[in-house]
């Protein structure tokens, strides 16, 4: 289950970003991820793994939000972009040229939502 490794990577990425930017007086309320259709990530498993990866960290109570990215291929000859499909993955439906995948395998942290924490 590679979702455990992905969850840990998200936690480390976000914590590093907070540290690098000197963010201390704010709490992370949500993290938005963009996951490509072909990334082979089980979202339920990722969410479950994330809940354990965030235990006893500043991210323990934050919400994980998922957005998806469609898989798209592009013809290397005519540059036509088309939705990924098994029928048109290798050859362009317009000119017959070879196609390459240009999106659909993404796994990105898109945004981190913060909330000010009251200082007493």
Q: Find the CATH number of the domain harbouring 20.
A: 3.30.2320.50
* 86 within a domain of the structure (yes/no): no
What confidence score (pLDDT) does residue 63 get? 96
**Cβ neighbours of 15 (radius 10 Å):** 15
Query: Do the domain assignments include residue 16?
Result: yes
Q: Decide if 81 is inside a domain.
A: no
The pLDDT, as a whole number, for residue 118 is: 67
Residue 110 lies in a domain: yes
> Residue 60: helix, strand or coil by DSSP?
coil
- Which residues on adjacent β-strands are paired with residue 103? 72
The answer for residues whose C-beta is within 8 angstroms of residue 40's C-beta and 6 or more apart is none
- Walk along the chain (120 residues) and give the pLDDT tens digit of each residue: 699 999 999 999 999 999 999 988 889 999 999 999 999 999 999 999 999 999 999 999 999 999 999 999 999 999 999 999 877 678 898 999 999 999 999 999 999 999 987 655
Q: How far apart are CA 55 and CA 92, in angstroms?
A: 47
50 is written with which tokens? 């994330």
Q: What is the pLDDT of residue 11?
A: 97
Question: Is 50 domain-assigned?
Answer: yes
| Domain extent for 31 | 3-70+103-116
In a domain, 56, yes or no: yes
Radius of gyration over alpha carbons of the chain, in Å? 19
**In the prediction, which pLDDT does 61 show?**
92
> Does residue 96 lie in a domain region?
no
Number of domains in the chain: 1
């Amino acid at each position: 289950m590679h979702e455990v490794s992905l969850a840990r990577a998200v936690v480390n990425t976000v914590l590093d970003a907070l540290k690098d930017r000197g963010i201390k007086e704010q709490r992370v309320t949500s993290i938005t991820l963009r996951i490509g259709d072909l990334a082979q990530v089980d979202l339920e498993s990722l969410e479950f793994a994330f809940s354990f990866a965030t235990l006893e960290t500043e991210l323990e109570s934050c919400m994980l939000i998922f957005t998806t990215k469609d898989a798209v291929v592009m013809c290397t000859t005519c540059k036509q972009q088309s939705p990924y499909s098994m029928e048109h993955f290798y050859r362009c439906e317009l000119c017959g040229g070879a196609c390459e995948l240009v999106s659909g395998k993404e796994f990105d942290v898109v945004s981190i939502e913060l909330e000010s924490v009251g200082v007493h």
